Structure 1
Amino acid sequence: MMQAAVQKNTLMKQPMVVSLKGGASGAEALMYMKSSTGDPHKVLIAYSLIYMLPLSAKIPFNWRELTPLSVIALDQFVLWDNATLPYKNVKEFVDAAKAANPPFKMGGTGSKREDHVLTVFLEKKTGAKFAYLPYKSGGEAATQLVGNHTQANVNNPSENLEVWRAGQVRALCVFDKERIQYKNKVTDTLSWHDIPTCKEEGVDVQYLMLRAMFLPGKVTREQSAFYVDLFKKLTQTAEYKDYMEKQALKPVFLSGKEMLKFLEEDEALNKGLMTEAGFVAK
């Protein structure tokens, strides 16, 4: 989306080339950017792993070594169960999970990553215990839930979109302080906005996934300002707005001190949860 929107709207003259560096669960990309000090031609699209991966894998990386540009979106998490299960709201689900022996199985993407940390957060707030099962992707976690191999997952909206639309899973609540803004019907009867917040349902858990842009460290102020302006314009395009709604992403734009404040607070939340769960490498 980003590459196409930049080119279609002529937001910059130079071509934008997307390079995927997914090795070592994202560590390859982080170390690549760290080693590119002073190079204004490389931009990182970062997720929450920028502060989670150094903690769990003990890689020599700190996001402060890069140049923060802007937060361009946030991805929300939803508590889902299988539509054939009898738990039609959060209270019924939590009560059943607390009484379950053996514990309910919670599927998620990866280990010691966002889904796993959120599961720990949910346990802390509800008193329920879950057996967390890591999968390679949100799509695999969705398949396992549909097949009744797990009782729940905390997939992002887009990861469970098709199985929700097909009536195979139930959206119990969204882990945010406000409902998802999109009101167009996704299933026959429900829109994203119809999903209550977990706080509305009695579980005060708020957890969002970062979508942010960074340059390498030690670039000039002018170079940084160019990209902040570029990504601000990107968020105003029709392509960006359409993508946000289709993926049920939360549109937001933070830069400068606002972005730094968000990163510091989000890092502290994740570090606290990961430390409590024993996910921080010794």
Structure 2
Amino acid sequence: MSTFLQRCARVALAASLLASAGLAHAAYPERPVTLVVTFPPGGTVDVVARLIGPKLAAELGQPVVIENRGGAGGMIGGAMVARAKPDGYTLMLDASNHAQNPAIQPRMQFDTLKDFAPVSLLLRAPNILVVTPSSEIRTVEDLVRLGKDDKNPVYFASSGPGSAQHLGGELFNLLAKTQLQHVAYKGGGPAMIDVMSGQVPVMFASMGSSWQHVKNGKLRAVATGGSQRSPVAPEMATIAESGVPGFESYEWNAVFAPTGTPAEIVDQVSQALAKVLKDPGIAQQLAAIGAEPVGSTPADLDTFRRAEIAKWQKVVKEAGLKLD
């Protein structure tokens, strides 16, 4: 074969391979997709996964298998996904710990920014300042005043050291110049039970897990932690507008893929999730747990998570927080 014909054959082969690759990506997915949830069954993150899973499956045309890999504040599931093949068949549903762990965890099994490709910010739910119904704390101003009393410390509960509730309380301390004392529990459930019973008076709780208790009178909501009032409770002021400017604390859920997943697959999943979150039924069910649907682009999620990581790193540094 002449040199000219050899070159033509190589060009044809390369074109064929490129076409095949394009067809492979265009055909995605050809089998079930696994959505790894970084928290155990029954919690808010799991509820969200099982809410969107069937709708996402319908958009993709393949089953979406929910696999719970909870533990270590989301790091067990994260380590699994970081090592997964970047082909679009393993995705991760993570929460705000995605940005908080790099700020406070001394030993990480992965690099949050380098090992995960952003897909979509699904939702945000503001943390909400709740107190025991019998508490004398009825306003943010009350908490600020009482929180500056050295002789009678005010305690706040959280689901554990380094959790969103813990860091929310520390952010409050920094901005309001209070000295609220942290009480860590092994999970949000036990913490909330003790706040309802009056063992600990205050919690910067997840709206998703606390809102039902507020509605049935077992907790009293004082203010929400978002930058704006929540559509779920528009009559309730934010902590920022109640005397602690700059306070902003959300719990959020987002989907990520292993770094190296083809951009066209990431975009396809992101667009499918955006459609799912526009479903009126999904929006209504998310509102019931105090969450606002988002459905962002991959680029917007990347900007959001980088800002969140930087924010919590600053809080941890200024508060002098350390985990053993």
Q: TM-score, normalised by structure 2?
A: 0.79
Query: Structure 2: which amino acid aligns with 1:202?
Result: G
2:153 equivalent to 1:103: yes
SS of structure 1 residue aligned to 2:252: strand
Identity %: 17
| Greater helix content | 2
- Counterparts in 2 of 1:123-272, with a 5 A limit? 123-182=173-232, 192-204=233-245, 205-272=247-314
In our comparison, the structure showing a higher alpha carbon Rg is 2
CA distance in 2, matches of 1:36, 1:181: 38
1:16 lines up with 2:64 in the alignment: yes
TM-score by length of 1: 0.90
- In 2, the alpha carbon distance for the partners of 1:127 and 1:279 equals 16
CA distance in 1, matches of 2:170, 2:267: 38
1:32-66 deviations in whole A, cap 9, x for unaligned? 11111423101101112223224414213222221
Q: Deviations over 1:212-270 (max 9, x none)?
A: 11111111122112111111111111332122211111222321332222111111001
The superposition leaves residues 181-208 of structure 1 with CA deviations (integer Å, 9 ceiling, x where unpaired) of 12xxxxxxxxx22211112211121122
1:280 Cα shift?
Answer: 5.0
1:97-122 superposed Cα distances (whole Å, 9 cap, x missing partner): 22252411100111112111111110
Q: Matched residue pairs, number? A: 271
Work out whether residues 5 and 237 of structure 1, in 8 Å CA contact, stay in contact via their aligned partners in 2.
no
| Structure 1 portions without partners, runs of 5+ | 183-191
The yes-or-no answer on 1:43 pairing with 2:91 is yes
Higher relative CO (Cα under 8 Å, sequence separation at least 6) belongs to: 1
Indicate if the aligned counterparts of 2:229 and 2:237 stay in contact, CA closer than 8 A: yes
Tell me which moved more, 222-231 or 133-142: 133-142
The answer as to whether partners of 1:37 and 1:217 remain within 8 angstroms in 2 is: no
Amino acid of the structure 1 residue aligned with 2:75 = A
Q: Is the 8 A contact 1:58 1:281 kept in 2?
A: no
Distance in structure 1 (CA, Å) of the matches to 2:131 and 2:295? 32
Letter in 2 for 1:164: V
Look up the match of 1:67.
Answer: 117
Determine helix, strand or coil for the equivalent of 1:155.
strand
> Could you tell me whether the CA contact under 8 Å between 1:50 and 1:62 is conserved in 2?
no
Change (3 A) 1:74 1:42: same
Displacement of 1:138 after TM fit?
Answer: 2.4
Q: Which amino acid aligns with 2:145?
A: D
Q: Distance in 1 between matches of 2:263 and 2:56?
A: 22
Q: Evaluate the alpha carbon distance shift between residue 90 and residue 4 of structure 1 in structure 2; reply closer, same or farther with a 3 A threshold.
A: same
| Per-residue Cα deviation, 1:115-171 (whole angstroms, up to 9, x for no partner) | 111111100111211221112332222210111110100111232223312323221
Structure 2: runs of 5+ lacking an equivalent: 1-50
**Partner SS, residue 212 of structure 2:** helix
RMSD (Å), alpha carbons: 1.8
Determine whether 1:84 maps to 2:152. Answer: no
